[in-house]
């Protein structure tokens, strides 16, 4: 077990890996910029305004305004998680990018760290797009809600590190469907995204709080979006930082076990 907690050696070379992914992103910008705009609009119309008409207000605010930070949090999670599972798996296994990189002065720690930073960046980019849409709909307080942008990087880092753990242990790309359906989908539903956690029985609430990363991301995002601060947010942030750090260390060690033979 202790071998999975060995501290990685990450220098600033990790940014070269990040830059490579950024260059690809810019090269294919047309595809990359349209989808993040489109997705939140569809959700907001269908759920926020369609379903919201029946729901009325939640916790004293219109349903669409309640939902908006939840949608941003889901986007933060999905962008990072999919980038560092399917995206990283393709780069690692099919494109053999890591093999090419490791023949240069880059070490595996830096390659994986670069991937995780990139996943976090994808979260930041997509969260920014969603924020623009949500602000345009007038659903979120401005300019305080802009704090979501740097926060989405921190939250994205958490999901990227988690994703790399699964990428490292998946025997093939199809196996990545398991964490998506068994972890990501339930998390998307039971993290206070579409309805407040307070409607659930207490034991489930505690379990969610203890185990689901998205719960903490939603709590903080919603607080920022609505400008409702509470001391408990500090606990959420601490949870995110500690778990991020642990997952970061574990993910790199798992990748080493897989790739360094």
Which residues here bind another protein, judged by CB under 8 A?
Answer: 13, 16, 19-20, 23-24, 27, 95-97, 99-107, 260-261
Cβ 30 to another protein, closest distance in Å? 15
Rounded Cα distance between 129 and 24, Å, is: 19
Cβ 31 to another protein, closest distance in Å? 13
Cβ 162 to another protein, closest distance in Å? 25
Nearer CB in complex with another protein: 95/230: 95
The contacts of residue 65 (CB under 8 Å, 6+ apart) are 139, 140, 225, 226
Q: Which of 155, 231, 223, 164 is nearest to 187 (CA)?
A: 155
Nearer CB in complex with another protein: 90/132: 90
Q: Which of 119, 107, 118, 91 is nearest to 11 (CA)?
A: 107
Q: What are phi and psi of 11, to 5 degrees?
A: -100, -170
Rounded Cα distance between 163 and 161, Å, is: 5
Cβ 99 to another protein, closest distance in Å? 5
Contact at 8 Å (CB) between 163 and 135?
no
Cβ 163 to another protein, closest distance in Å? 20
The contacts of residue 199 (CB under 8 Å, 6+ apart) are none
Nearer CB in complex with another protein: 74/106: 106
Nearer CB in complex with another protein: 20/258: 20
Nearer CB in complex with another protein: 23/231: 23
Cβ 70 to another protein, closest distance in Å? 33
Nearer CB in complex with another protein: 96/228: 96
């Amino acid at each position: 077990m202790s071998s999975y907690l060995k501290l990685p050696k990450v220098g600033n070379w990790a940014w070269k890996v990040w830059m490579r992914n950024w260059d690809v992103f810019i090269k294919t910008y047309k595809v990359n910029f349209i989808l993040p705009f489109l997705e939140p609009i569809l959700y907001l119309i269908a759920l926020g305004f369609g379903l919201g008409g029946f729901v009325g207000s939640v916790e004293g605010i219109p349903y669409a305004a309640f939902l908006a930070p939840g949608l941003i949090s889901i986007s933060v999670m999905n962008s990072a998680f999919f980038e560092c599972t399917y995206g990283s798996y393709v780069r690692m296994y099919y494109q053999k990018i890591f093999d090419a990189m490791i023949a240069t002065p880059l070490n595996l720690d830096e390659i994986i760290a670069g991937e995780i930073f990139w996943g976090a960046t994808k979260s930041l980019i997509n969260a920014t797009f969603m924020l623009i849409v949500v602000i345009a709909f007038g659903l979120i307080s401005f300019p305080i809600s802009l704090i979501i942008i740097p926060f989405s990087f921190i939250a994205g880092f958490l999901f990227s590190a988690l994703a790399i753990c699964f990428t490292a242990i998946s025997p093939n790309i199809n196996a990545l469907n398991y964490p998506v359906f068994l972890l990501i989908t339930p998390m998307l539903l039971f993290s206070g995204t579409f309805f407040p956690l307070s409607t659930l029985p207490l034991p489930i609430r505690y379990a969610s709080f203890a185990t689901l990363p998205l719960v903490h991301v939603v709590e903080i995002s919603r607080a920022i979006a609505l400008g409702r601060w509470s001391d408990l947010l500090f606990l959420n942030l601490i949870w995110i930082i500690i778990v991020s750090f642990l997952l970061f260390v574990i993910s790199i060690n798992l990748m080493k076990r897989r790739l360094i033979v």
